């Protein structure tokens, strides 16, 4: 994708800002964000920032070639604690933004849905397996997928829904402002680097398909390049336990901080995730390039007080 005008909603947030900065090398990029979880400081100077909500009537959709819709209440707890607002932003905000883009002539949309609708699985999850909504967050993302089908069938638009698996970058990137909502890799590394014991629900045997944000943004761009239609997973196809993650962080930092195991306070909790990425690979040639070991090393580089061999 070159010399396009693109709109990234949630563009000052974690994944959105990484995407906006990546695309701005060869394209004209407008980033919309209401700064609920984002900050313009995440954006490079060549990205045009607009402080606006996806619920607004006058979004900057004129002349855009591709809409990347990432704005959302982006976690289980965030949505449960703000059900009505999360539903409005995640569903109405999606419909509102896509409709404005469509009215202004844009017919390519790439949007974020979620892998948590697969539930707990230690086997790879393919896109066509049965899914269910057990939380407000999951229900709102499934509704997005349904509205995307509507826009595709009714208006002949192409809409790629990407189910991300446990995206991380670390506090040395654009994750820091998310605080308690940041990925566990970022949170645990920050605590261990500061001599604090990370709290782990249960016994630490839960697994995640941890996917580096750089691989995610490449996948998002490819979805637009190939004008993908339908649902696609973006993950690695591998999963690691929280205990193994903490072990890797300690090794990289040269520390020996033990986790604190606590009772899981959440009513609904996905214990294990693993992506089946064959559909995305076969359609676009996309492959994750950053192994989890390499990703943890990159996260730990944000803490230069440790002699990790990179300074």
pLDDT at 310 over 50: no
Reported confidence tier of residue 311, pLDDT bands at 50, 70, 90: very low
Q: What is the 3-state secondary structure (H, E, C) of the chain?
A: CCCCEEEEECCCCHHHHHHHHHHCCCCEEEEEECCCCCCHHHCCCCEEEEECCCCCCCCCCCCCCEEEECCCCCCHHHHHHCHHHHHHHHHHHHHHHHHHHHHCCCCEEEEECCCHHHCCCCCCECCCCCCCCCCHHHHHHHHHHHHHHHHHHHHCCEEEEEEECCEECCCCCCCHHHHHHCCHHHHHHHHHHCCCCCEEECCCCCEECCEEHHHHHHHHHHHHHCCCCEEEEECCCCCEEHHHHHHHHHHHHCCCCCCEEECCCCCCCCCECCECCHHHHHHHCCCCCCCHHHHHHHHHCCCCCCCCCCC
> What is the arithmetic mean of pLDDT over 276-296?
98
* Mean pLDDT across the chain: 95
| 83 in the same domain as 227 | yes
Q: Give me the pLDDT at residue 306, please.
A: 58
> What is the arithmetic mean of pLDDT over 260-268?
91
| 113 in the same domain as 201 | no
Residue with structure tokens 């974690």?
14
| 83 in the same domain as 48 | yes
Q: For the chain, what percent of residues have pLDDT higher than 90? A: 87
Write out pLDDT tens, residues 210-248: 999 999 999 999 999 999 999 999 999 999 999 999 999
| 258 in the same domain as 245 | yes
| 125 in the same domain as 70 | yes
Q: Give me the pLDDT at residue 63, please.
A: 97
- 261 is annotated as an active-site residue: no
Domain containing residue 259: CATH number: 3.90.25.10
Which stretch of 43-47, 74-78, 163-167, 211-215 has the lowest confidence by average pLDDT?
Answer: 74-78
Write out pLDDT tens, residues 105-126: 999 999 999 999 999 999 999 9
Helices 242-253, 184-193: inter-axial angle, 10-degree rounding: 40
| 179 in the same domain as 131 | no
> What is the arithmetic mean of pLDDT over 32-49?
95
Q: Give me the pLDDT at residue 304, please.
A: 72
Q: Give me the pLDDT at residue 78, please.
A: 86
Write out pLDDT tens, residues 149-203: 999 999 999 999 999 999 999 998 888 888 888 999 999 999 999 999 999 999 9
Residue 284 lies in a domain: no
Residue 153 lies in a domain: yes
Q: For the chain, what percent of residues have pLDDT higher than 70? A: 98
| 260 in the same domain as 177 | yes
> What is the arithmetic mean of pLDDT over 266-287?
95
> What is the arithmetic mean of pLDDT over 255-280?
94
Q: Give me the pLDDT at residue 296, please.
A: 97
Residue 278 lies in a domain: no
Q: Give me the pLDDT at residue 76, please.
A: 82
Number of domains in the chain: 2
Domain containing residue 83: CATH number: 3.40.50.720
What's the domain range around 40? 5-167+212-234
Q: What is the pTM of this model?
A: 0.95
Which of 76, 111, 118, 137 does the annotation list as catalytic? 137
| 177 in the same domain as 198 | yes
Q: Give me the pLDDT at residue 302, please.
A: 85
């Amino acid at each position: 994708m070159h010399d396009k005008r693109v709109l990234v909603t949630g563009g000052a947030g974690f994944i959105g800002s990484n995407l906006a900065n990546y695309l701005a090398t060869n394209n004209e990029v407008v980033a919309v964000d209401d700064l609920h979880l984002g900050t313009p400081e995440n954006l490079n100077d060549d990205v045009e920032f607009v402080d606006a909500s996806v619920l607004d009537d006058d979004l900057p959709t004129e002349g855009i070639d591709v809409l990347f819709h990432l704005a959302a209440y982006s976690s289980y707890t965030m949505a449960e604690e703000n059900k009505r607002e999360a539903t409005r932003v995640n569903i109405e905000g999606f419909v509102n933004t896509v409709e404005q883009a469509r009215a202004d002539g844009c017919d390519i949309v790439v949007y974020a849905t979620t892998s948590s609708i697969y539930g707990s699985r230690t086997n790879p999850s393919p896109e066509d397996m049965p899914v269910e909504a057990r939380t407000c967050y999951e229900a709102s993302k499934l509704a997005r997928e349904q509205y995307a089908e509507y826009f595709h069938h009714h208006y002949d638009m192409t809409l790629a829904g990407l189910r991300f698996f446990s995206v991380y970058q670390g506090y040395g990137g654009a994750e820091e402002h998310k605080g308690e909502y940041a990925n566990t890799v970022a949170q645990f590394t920050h605590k261990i680097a500061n001599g604090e014991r990370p709290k782990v629900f249960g016994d630490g045997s839960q697994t995640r398909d941890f996917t580096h944000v750089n691989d995610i943004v490449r996948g998002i761009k490819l979805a637009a390049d190939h004008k993908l239609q339908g649902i696609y997973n973006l993950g690695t196809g591998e999963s690691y336990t929280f205990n193994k993650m903490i072990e890797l962080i300690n090794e990289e930092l040269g520390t020996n901080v033990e986790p604190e195991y606590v009772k899981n306070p959440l009513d609904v909790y996905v214990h294990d995730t693993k992506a089946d990425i064959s559909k995305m690979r076969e359609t676009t040639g996309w492959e994750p390039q950053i192994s989890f070991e390499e990703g943890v090393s990159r996260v730990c580089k944000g803490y230069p007080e440790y002699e990790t061999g990179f300074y």
